[in-house]
Amino acid sequence: MKIEPLRIADVLLLTPQVHGDARGLFFEAWNARDFAAAGLAATWVQDNMSESQRGVLRGLHCQVRQVQAKLVRCVAGSVFDVAVDVRAQSPTFGQWCGAPLDAQAQQSMWIPAGFAHGYYVLSERATVHYKVTDYHSPADERCLQWDDPDVGIPWPLIGVAPPMLAAKDRRGASLVQAREWFR
């Protein structure tokens, strides 16, 4: 497995060794021993799947108290995946990093606890699978404003129409408000 830190060193792009032949392909998406040896030990408690159409933007989501580390992979189609550091005491608070994820490259993104996460769908449809280290807790759920100018994510928006957003994503908090989440 190739492990590359992104702009925020705690967020990693993981590229597995893919074995392919005329029958198709095989790769290990998760191997507890190998990931632990790379410093990525995690106990997964929930796997989530999300399917969306082109132009959908999901996020930027996180949880407080029941914080979640995530291992995110696009299993069909392609997305632009983003993590924003919302850990109040972090030297990279408010900074973002991201990478395109697609089913062909088989890469995944490791997002530590304390980051808001979101993605924008680039393909006709996309299915995203992510493992999390704590259970979903609606009372702990928070959403950071996807287009907060203080974060400055240059989303690769397709066309001129604004992205399709869930109601809660349209009401995301500003980065200034997010500073209070993890105090």
Hey, which residues are catalytic here? 61, 130
Q: At a CB cut-off of 8 Å and minimum separation 6, what does 163 contact?
A: 55, 56, 57, 120, 146, 155, 157
CB 87 within 8 A of CB 59: no
* 13: phi then psi, degrees, rounded to nearest 5: -100, 125
Beta-ladder partners of 120: 57, 80
Residue 6, classed as helix, strand or coil, is coil
Q: How many CB atoms lie within 10 A of CB 138?
A: 6
Report the alpha-carbon distance of residue 16 to residue 149 in Å, rounded.
Answer: 34
Q: Which residues contact 59 (CB under 8 A, 6 or more apart)?
A: 82, 116, 117, 118, 119, 143, 144, 146, 169
Burial class (CB in 10 A: 0-12, 13-18, 19+), 47: exposed
